[in-house]
Structure 1
């Protein structure tokens, strides 16, 4: 591969990573940037909503004259076809990739396209009615056909892309464990590694979106009888399909168990931190240094109080002060920020321990955040401050409390209800 091609790939990857507002996460080894892992978040208002889907890009020496080869990795070991264009084998059918016939010349790959173009195209497949991605069914209007297909994809999104993924990350699944009646078969994730490289980000995403996953499961339980078999689509056959039964009761229990385990992880970190401090690890020194610098700058004095719990640089205790003349006026909101020794590869776990009513904070106290420079703690602090200073974003992927979201973006009366709930939290916060 020419130097110009390598430089172009590096620039493309850097540009994508510097855009925290998108829902793409990348991982690659600097020694081989032609092999790229991507995590794509399922768009809201679709059956894939907030699912976590892995893809691998293999970029040839003739890039950008030719497209990369892309393989879908989230297939439950080749047992689930998540889309008419995303096979259980991992094949991704897209004209831009040359794996599907282009109807127009503009749909074909050109050197003007890039990695981001492919990511956007793949995410566009994860649509509101994916059944219509199948050729000759683009105009399908039969609501039962559309709904039956969506229903099983929504179930499998939670089961495979969320529960299976997190259970494996927690070390709960092996060859002898059966989940929903099927044996979990351990296979190498990729030629470059045995597991997905997005362990930390998917844990954090789960904690942010868990309430939404659970609400979806609870809602679907009222209409999908337990054990009812999925309806096969006309284009599904053999293993290249999504077969199974609705098991939302089991999924709800699995979601709760995963959340319980993940919420305990910071406590385990604090136990381990005694050794990290004693060994004077790089992270211990880095975190203490950043804390001291931030305290000396006094830049957050008007909005955030902070201290190290028991002088532990891995345990930051914060108190956010509600701004005057806002619905949070007079509030004192306690926040825990816990660090791992692998920081910044493992980003901090942040949780409000004081009740906070806000679209960007889950009912369990987990705030939405995504930073550009994971090593800079000021970016996390700025995120917390902006929860009080700025109006909530309209981006649905940032909405973690759906009740607060509906009130904020609803009618004038809804907004008044939102303000009343937020003020009530501020008033109660001083009792903690």
Structure 2
């Protein structure tokens, strides 16, 4: 690997880190940045809505003169074709990758890079992926677009979410063996690069997955065979039957398992404290520094404490911004840490009900941090949710469907959102009595 290639990739990775995207994620070993693993969450309002799709990128020695080899990894063991351009065998057909003929100006050039590749792949996950197939007749094929979308919605939840998370959670217990499918569990483990991220995203998007299941189950009956597109053949297809009742139950069991895992961290923390682990000392030191920071800055907006003097379990109270929807509100948030922090990020939840576009109905906030090892940046990011006047317009961050619909809807709907937020704030003090 030449120094020029190393410098180019290092620069791209640095830029990617500085500009985090809510739907694009990378993992790599600094000792070998020629091989990178990526995860893309499917765009909202498409059949791939918030699914978790992994890809590998292997860079050649003459990069960026030549493009990397990109392989789709979320293929149900090579049995499922998720897109006309994403094959069951892992092939990703894109003109900028040199894997598909394109028009002039669409081929690979050194101006392309990691981010543009991932965005190009994500663009394949459109609202009508059937149209990605070359030569399709728009009028003739119109009736095929939705049947093709329907099976992608189903398999996105079954394969990229249920199969995936069940694999991360390990071997199913006797009580869940009828729901979990251990076949996929053999291909991923709890040590997978994205397992922690996938679990946190699952908690944030759980309501959306269940909403999709409920909506689609009213349209297509369980047991109905999938539509097969003309371009699907041999092993390069997406075959199966709809089974939304099973998916609803599987999603519920996965959520329960992840929440139980968080409780296990709290139980295990007593041993981590007893062993005086490095992270036990690190978190206690950060707690002391954060308390000092808020005392010195005299912000009056945050109060932090350890639960039973446990450095792995924090709570902090946020006070609503004056003259805002949350004026007068007091909101308690819990953060539970693992001894492997920051490789394993904290599980965060509002203990006080919070009505907000970026907070789920049961209190899981959607937020991003630039310094994942700095607890204060987590607190600041969560605090910002209720201090900023306007939530992000990025739909991938809208984890409360009702709140998002009202806030970004008509004027009357916006007023209803504001009323709900103010009620939330006025009732919040009841939880401190």
TM range (shorter): over 0.9
Equivalent position of 1:252 in the other structure: 248
Q: Residues 290 and 377 of structure 1 are in contact (CA less than 8 Å); yes or no, is this contact kept in structure 2?
A: yes
Q: What TM-score, normalized to structure 1?
A: 0.94
Which of 343, 346, 349 is the aligned partner of 1:345?
A: 343
- Distance in structure 2 (CA, Å) of the matches to 1:387 and 1:127: 29
- Distance in structure 1 (CA, Å) of the matches to 2:42 and 2:216: 18
With over 3 angstroms needed to count, the CA separation of the structure-2 counterparts of 1:340 and 1:185, relative to structure 1, is: closer
1:309 equivalent in alignment to 2:312: no
> C-alpha offsets along residues 396-426 of structure 1, whole Å, 9 cap, x if unaligned?
0110001111111112211111111111111
Q: Measure how far apart 1:102 and its partner are.
A: 1.9
- Distance in structure 1 (CA, Å) of the matches to 2:368 and 2:212: 24
Equivalent position of 2:387 in the other structure: 389
With over 3 angstroms needed to count, the CA separation of the structure-2 counterparts of 1:301 and 1:312, relative to structure 1, is: farther
Equivalent position of 2:85 in the other structure: 85
Equivalent position of 1:413 in the other structure: 412
- Secondary structure of the residue aligned to 2:331 is strand
Equivalent position of 1:362 in the other structure: 360
User: Gaps spanning 5+ residues in structure 2: where?
Assistant: none
Equivalent position of 1:31 in the other structure: 31
- Secondary structure of the residue aligned to 1:184 is helix
- Secondary structure of the residue aligned to 2:26 is strand
Which of 269, 278, 285 is the aligned partner of 1:282?
A: 278
Q: How does 1:138-177 map to 2 (within 5 A)?
A: 139=138, 142-172=141-171
1:372 equivalent in alignment to 2:340: no
Q: Measure how far apart 1:316 and its partner are.
A: 0.3
1:10 equivalent in alignment to 2:10: yes
With over 3 angstroms needed to count, the CA separation of the structure-2 counterparts of 1:295 and 1:6, relative to structure 1, is: same
Q: Measure how far apart 1:183 and its partner are.
A: 7.1
Aligned residues: 426
Equivalent position of 1:184 in the other structure: 183
- Distance in structure 1 (CA, Å) of the matches to 2:140 and 2:25: 35
Q: Residues 180 and 247 of structure 1 are in contact (CA less than 8 Å); yes or no, is this contact kept in structure 2?
A: no
- Secondary structure of the residue aligned to 2:430 is coil
Q: Measure how far apart 1:139 and its partner are.
A: 3.7
- Distance in structure 2 (CA, Å) of the matches to 1:87 and 1:140: 25
Structure 1 consecutive aligned stretches of length 4 or more whose deviation exceeds 2 Å:
138-144, 177-183, 185-189, 193-196
- Distance in structure 2 (CA, Å) of the matches to 1:139 and 1:388: 46
With over 3 angstroms needed to count, the CA separation of the structure-2 counterparts of 1:281 and 1:301, relative to structure 1, is: farther
> C-alpha offsets along residues 17-57 of structure 1, whole Å, 9 cap, x if unaligned?
22123421111111111010000111111100101100001
Equivalent position of 1:69 in the other structure: 69
1:209 equivalent in alignment to 2:205: yes
With over 3 angstroms needed to count, the CA separation of the structure-2 counterparts of 1:422 and 1:332, relative to structure 1, is: same
Q: Residues 155 and 246 of structure 1 are in contact (CA less than 8 Å); yes or no, is this contact kept in structure 2?
A: yes
Equivalent position of 1:239 in the other structure: 235
- Distance in structure 2 (CA, Å) of the matches to 1:180 and 1:422: 38
Q: Residues 335 and 353 of structure 1 are in contact (CA less than 8 Å); yes or no, is this contact kept in structure 2?
A: yes
With over 3 angstroms needed to count, the CA separation of the structure-2 counterparts of 1:178 and 1:92, relative to structure 1, is: farther
- Secondary structure of the residue aligned to 2:99 is coil
1:318 equivalent in alignment to 2:316: yes
- Secondary structure of the residue aligned to 1:430 is helix
Equivalent position of 1:198 in the other structure: 194
Q: Measure how far apart 1:140 and its partner are.
A: 5.4
- Distance in structure 2 (CA, Å) of the matches to 1:148 and 1:85: 18
Q: Residues 132 and 140 of structure 1 are in contact (CA less than 8 Å); yes or no, is this contact kept in structure 2?
A: no
1:292 equivalent in alignment to 2:288: yes
Equivalent position of 1:123 in the other structure: 122
- Secondary structure of the residue aligned to 2:79 is coil
Q: Residues 9 and 33 of structure 2 are in contact (CA less than 8 Å); yes or no, is this contact kept in structure 1?
A: yes
Q: Residues 77 and 187 of structure 1 are in contact (CA less than 8 Å); yes or no, is this contact kept in structure 2?
A: no
* CA RMSD between the two structures: 2.0
- Distance in structure 1 (CA, Å) of the matches to 2:349 and 2:62: 47
With over 3 angstroms needed to count, the CA separation of the structure-2 counterparts of 1:300 and 1:287, relative to structure 1, is: farther
Q: Measure how far apart 1:71 and its partner are.
A: 0.6
- Distance in structure 2 (CA, Å) of the matches to 1:185 and 1:50: 20
- Distance in structure 2 (CA, Å) of the matches to 1:238 and 1:181: 27
- Distance in structure 2 (CA, Å) of the matches to 1:186 and 1:361: 30
User: Gaps spanning 5+ residues in structure 1: where?
Assistant: none
Q: What TM-score, normalized to structure 2?
A: 0.94
Q: Measure how far apart 1:181 and its partner are.
A: 11
Q: Residues 337 and 350 of structure 1 are in contact (CA less than 8 Å); yes or no, is this contact kept in structure 2?
A: yes
Q: Residues 217 and 251 of structure 1 are in contact (CA less than 8 Å); yes or no, is this contact kept in structure 2?
A: yes
